[in-house]
Chains A and B, each alone.
Chain A
Amino acid sequence: MGAVETVLIYALIGLAVGVGAALQEAQCSPGKRLGIALSASIFWPVHLPVLLGRGAQTRASAAPSAASGPLEQRILQSERGLREALARLDGVAEEVLSKEQNQILGVSERLRTMSARIAEMDSLLQSSEFSASRAQSALDELEGQALDDPRVRSVRARMRNIERLSNMRARAYEELERALLKIEELGSQLALLKFAEDPQPEVARLLQEIAVSVDCVSEGLFSAESAA
């Protein structure tokens, strides 16, 4: 097969890939679609995997922009900081690194679970059922009634539950923040290990300490919730 035939076949495949790439980007402007089609036609060997393949599932969730709330952002930043500090270390074997990276992932997942519980509590506290002001107005309406009136007792019990949930939420937030600060503190120690001669044992020790402190915080939080 000569050069002309090769170029012809390349161009034909490129045309098909270019059209496919342009059709896939239907939401883009016409100019951008034309650019994508042109690029895909010329460089179709690198566009084709993107066009066809579906990635293998990674254990990472969506990109940072999709993470909601300041807490999620801070958890993501702490995770990144630890990974970056680990990646900067020399003298740590890659097999050890991969295990330690998995440990970081485990820690992050537990922190995200805690953050999700706080988000659940926030959403409950914003609902009308757990609205303190609504409960107070209901109690004010029943002001003339006797204290042992079942309706008054019911509203007061609701107000006590609302207060209990608020306290639980505040405590959960403090515990999570304590865990994040601990991670950041140990992460900075990890970063200093760059200048140590043999950081490997110290790396494992620090990450173990992080995992233990997060476990203590989350266990304390969950046992306080079940006691409540």
Chain B
Amino acid sequence: MTVQVEELGMPEARRNNVEFGMYETILRDPQGLDERLLDENTLPEATRKLLLLGVAGLVAYGVGVGISAELLNSPTLSWAQQLAAGPSVLWLPLAFVFAFVGALSICLPSFYFYTQLSGLDVSFRLVTAQALRAQAVTSICLLAFVPVYMALALGSVVADGNGVGMVLAVGLLFPFVLGFAGITSVYRSFVRMLGRLTITHQRCGAFVKRMVLAWGGIYSLIAPIALWRLLGSFSGGW
């Protein structure tokens, strides 16, 4: 018996049981990603793919910023010269990857602690996966932003170096701005998972929002310092 039913915004491919790659899953089927993360059998593979996606996006973005730094090597700005020191196309991606993934690793115990405080009994593995989810979403946004950023940099080159400082500053700060997309995806994911996670003690009010804000707060303290220190170390080596 065939029945016409109205789907509630479900992706066509999931209705047809088509498997998405991780990139498409993040963009088109976030609920499918939730299922993968909640299943202990698929969680390890999903975590690895999220890490890979996160790193790939940061590398691509780092290459873009590195090229811009070399093109916009302004003699009047000392920090711009530092960014252009040596083969910045090689060391800037490394600095981005180790800064952001390193900050995430440092913050993982805090993320787990805040999750437990919010009353959700979530495993450390799931906390790690969700943190990497935020990074992967941010990396996808950064991938999308690279052409725009390159256009900005080239525009500054054509304009005889006007706005060099601003362009380079945008390159360094934009991962933090786009990080809001990552943290939003984590928030929505936890809200969807609410009925399927063990709640150890019921909190009142917007407890998931508070938890995710705590995640974002601690990460926003650590990541800039990590990035600044690594940029200094890598550029000083040349």
> Taking beta carbons and an 8 Å cutoff, which residues of A are in contact with B?
36, 39, 43, 45-47, 49-50, 53-60, 62-66, 73, 77, 80-85, 87, 93-95, 97-98, 100-105, 177, 181, 184, 187-188, 191
Contact = CB atoms under 8 A, between A and B. Distances in A.
A53 B207 contact: no
A149 B15 CA distance: 55
B28 interface: no
Contacts of B48: 36, 39, 47, 50
Given A43-B51, A47-B48, A50-B129, 13 more contacts: A45-B105, A53-B124, A53-B125, A58-B196, A59-B196, A59-B197, A59-B198, A64-B17, A66-B39, A73-B17, A93-B206, A94-B191, A103-B195
A73 B47 CA distance: 25
B154 interface: no
Contacts of A66: 39
Prevailing SS type, chain A contact patch: helix
Contacts of A94: 191, 194, 205-209
Contacts, number: 140
Contact of A56 (B31, B41, B123, B191): B123
B210 to A, nearest CB: 9
Nearest to B200: A56
Interface string B7-22: 1111000010100000
A83 B205 contact: no
A55 B191 contact: no
Contacts of A97: 191, 194
A81 B7 contact: yes
Nearest to B206: A94
Contacts of A54: 40, 123
Interface residues of B, number: 59
A103 B196 CA distance: 11
B162 interface: no
Contacts of B202: 95, 98
A97 to B, nearest CB: 6
Contacts of A102: 195
B194 A101 contact: yes
Given A43-B101, A55-B40, A60-B39, A101 B10 contact: no
Contacts of A81: 7-10
Given A46-B47, A49-B124, A95-B203, A105 B39 contact: no
25 contacts: A39-B48, A39-B52, A45-B108, A46-B101, A46-B105, A46-B108, A46-B128, A49-B125, A53-B125, A54-B123, A55-B43, A63-B41, A64-B32, A65-B17, A81-B9, A83-B195, A84-B31, A87-B188, A93-B206, A94-B194, A97-B194, A98-B194, A101-B196, A184-B6, A188-B8
B104 A46 contact: yes
A187 B6 CA distance: 10
B130 to A, nearest CB: 12
Contacts of A84: 8-10, 31, 192
